Amino acid sequence: MPLVPTPDIPAAPAIPGATHLHSGKVRDLYSIDEGPHAGHLLMVASDRISAFDFVLESTIPDKGEVLTRMSLWWFEQLADLVPNHVVSTDVPEQVRGRAVVCRRLEMYPVECVARGYLTGSGLLDYRATGEVCGIALPAGLEDGSRLPEPLFTPATKAALGDHDENVSYDAVVATVGDEAASRLRDLTLRIYARAEGIARERGFILADTKLEFGRDDAGATVLADEVLTPDSSRFWPADEWQPGRTQPGYDKQVVRDWLLHESGWDRASGSPPPPLADEVVERTRARYVEAYERLTGQRW
């Protein structure tokens, strides 16, 4: 199903005492109208999965709960670095386990990306210009190469159906101002450094991650949305890392590879991808669950 127009995203379920505000590729957002959390937001992670700017017809069982549990675990690991938007996990029964009550924030219109390794859109930019987000990199790097140091490589937030566009740090300054841009860069790199160390202890390479921040009423910068999940980050098994090829990962690469190489779908056709094969759904779910268990040390 194409992401444009937005009605192609499945309708969000009605939740008593809440008003649906918005649906993205994966999450549904509600305003809480009644009860002890009235005035806050309810963020629900669905089992939807997207690839190549399409929300797929197939879903991945338990994905929304995995994403929610993993984000909550990471918020705890990062609590001394930055406050987060979570108010409570006391949510309506129909979305229990896959939703959180969160604060209303003025969101910064920037995707805050940290890269420790070269892949994805960063690799494409490097191959075209020798740079990523205006930062010159050494010659001879390959897919999966470790960068000399982690980089802050921001992107614009794209509308549904569009690609995020990598931008320079100066573009962030022009959008949010010097002080906020510096704070976003510092927090992004500090979070990456903390998470990269934790992941490495558990046998993972954290290649890159995408973070979102907002500003609360007091002017504090708050970590929001999801954090360090397979949807927003690339986790690679450290013992299988080999630059010069696509790395095996704990993200949507299983889905991307099947769509491109096995499904018979022509990406250039403009038509939506076919439903995923059952075994692809099962393998994708297993990768999400394995990432959760290995990172958190908790059984699913």
pLDDT range class, residue 2, cuts 50, 70, 90: very low
- Supply the CATH number for residue 137's domain: 3.30.470.20
Shared-domain flag, residues 96 and 174: no
**59 and 142 together in one domain:** no
Determine, yes or no, domain membership for 282.
no
Q: What is the CATH number for 57?
A: 3.30.200.20
Please, are residues 141 and 129 in contact by the beta-carbon 8 Å criterion? no
pLDDT one-digit tens code per residue, 45-102: 999 999 888 999 999 999 999 999 999 999 999 999 999 999 999 999 999 999 999 9
Lowest mean pLDDT among 7-11, 85-89, 188-192, 230-234: 7-11
- Model pLDDT, residue 218: 96
In a domain, 75, yes or no: yes
Domain hosting 79: range is 6-102
Tell me the C-alpha distance between 140 and 296, whole Å.
Answer: 36
pLDDT digits (tens, 9 = 90+) for 144-181: 999 999 999 999 976 554 567 999 999 999 999 999 99
- State whether 93 and 200 are in the same domain: no
Both 87 and 176 in a single domain? no
| Residue of 188 and 253 predicted with greater confidence | 188
**Do 170 and 250 reside in the same domain of the chain?**
yes
Report the number of distinct structural domains present in the chain. Answer: 2
Range of weakest confidence among 2-11, 62-71, 269-278: 2-11
Residues 123, 97 share a domain: no
Q: Are 42 and 96 in contact (CB under 8 A)?
A: no
**Residue 72 located in a structural domain:** yes
Q: Which of 30-34, 128-132, 169-173, 247-251 has the lowest mean pLDDT?
A: 247-251
Same domain, 73 and 89: yes
Task: Establish if 284 belongs to a structural domain.
Answer: no
Give the helix/strand (H/E) hosting 281.
helix 278-296
Domain co-membership, 221 together with 146: yes
